[in-house]
Amino acid sequence: MINQWIKCEKCRSIISTPDLEENLFVCPKCNNHFYISARKTIEIMFQDFQELYSHIRSIDFLKFDDYEEKLKKDIEKLGINEAVVVGYGYLKIDRDKKNEIGCAVMDFGFRGGSMGSVVGEKISLIAEYCYQKELPLVIFSASGGARMQEGIISLMQMAKTVSVINKLKSKRIPFINVVTNPTTGGVAASFVAIADIIIAEPLATIGFAGQRVIEQTIKKKLPPNFQTSEFSLNNGLIDAIVHRKDLAQFILNFVSSFYFWKNYSS
Ligand SMILES: [Zn+2]
């Protein structure tokens, strides 16, 4: 990697890119978790990752201004066809490869991680895949909400993803959601909210409507840490806040206990 210097937005420390990468893109001074792309998350977390449904692409069915162009730009910039990458594999720390996982990783860099028809479809497809193969599902969420260029079809993805993911419960297959910064709008309010275990990275933003909109509506000042992981944990919306370096182990504990139970009961 080329040695470059990056400034942390939170504490303004200057960090070299190799140091940052070694620290899993977390500021060594203040623990600020930097944005990482879906591809990078997969590279850091998984081994033997097999991508599925990568060919599915959004179409501009509402003929919305510039949508086609914006999609093209993000596809070129990030090397992915949509705001989520789905597939299956093993966590890197799962050395014996005993605990296969289905996963979906959203990318905030692609149209703000917004959920349109294709994001909803891919998440539903990987959930169905996990249901058929009896694999635990792990989703890394990052989203600004619904894809406004796809209108009402975007909102329908909330019901669609939730209904497929809910099928996992009938087979007692765990669904773990990792909230990365930010996870808001229709994504926070749909499949993220129904996860069996909701883990968040420190200081991630999680919520439905924006803070300013809520303040204007209720005409009250909201607490300074409103809609952070810490605020959400204190109010019971999420189950744990986990540092990126501990995340794989945290997930593996749940996944391996699922496999233990599955083998034990069969
Ligand atoms: Zn920092």
Domains detected in the chain = 1-34 (no CATH), 35-265 (3.90.226.10)
Cα(179) to centroid(ligand 1), Å: 20
Given a cut of 80, whether residue 160 has pLDDT beyond it is yes
Residues with CB under 5 A from ligand 1 (ion): 8, 10-11, 13, 27, 29-30, 32
Q: Measured in angstroms, how far is the CA atom of residue 44 from the centroid of ligand 1?
A: 20
Q: What does the pLDDT average to over 203-220? A: 94
Asked if 207 contacts 188 with a C-beta cutoff of 8 angstroms, the reply is: yes
The pTM (predicted TM-score) of the whole model is: 0.96
Gap from CA of 131 to ligand 1 centroid (Å): 40
Give the pLDDT of residue 266: 81
Residue 227, phi-psi category: left (phi > 0), alpha (psi -120 to 50), beta (remainder): left
Chain centre to alpha carbon of residue 50: 18
Give distance in angstroms: CA of 142 to centre of ligand 1. Answer: 20
Average pLDDT, the chain: 96
Rounded mean pLDDT, 96-120: 98
User: What is the whole-number distance in angstroms between the Cα of residue 14 and the centre of ligand 1?
Assistant: 8
Task: Identify the band that residue 2 occupies on the pLDDT scale cut at 50, 70 and 90.
Answer: low
* Cα 221 to ligand 1 centre (Å): 28
Q: How far is the CA of 139 from the centre of ligand 1 (A)?
A: 26
Residue 66, phi-psi category: left (phi > 0), alpha (psi -120 to 50), beta (remainder): left
Q: What integer pLDDT is reported at residue 154 of this predicted model?
A: 97
Please give the distance, rounded to the nearest whole angstrom, from the Cα atom of residue 123 to the centre of ligand 1: 33
Average the pLDDT over 15-35 and give the result. Answer: 94
Q: What is the pLDDT of residue 111?
A: 98
What Å distances lie between residue 213 and 66, 185, 207, 210, 217, CA to CA? 27, 12, 12, 5, 6
Flag whether pLDDT at 159 surpasses 60: yes
> Is residue 216's pLDDT more than 90?
yes
Res. 185: pLDDT tops 60: yes
In the structure, what pLDDT confidence band is assigned to residue 256 with cuts at 50, 70 and 90? very high
| Residue 3, pLDDT score | 72
* Weakest-pLDDT range from 2-6, 61-65, 161-165: 2-6
Whole-number pLDDT of residue 265 = 86
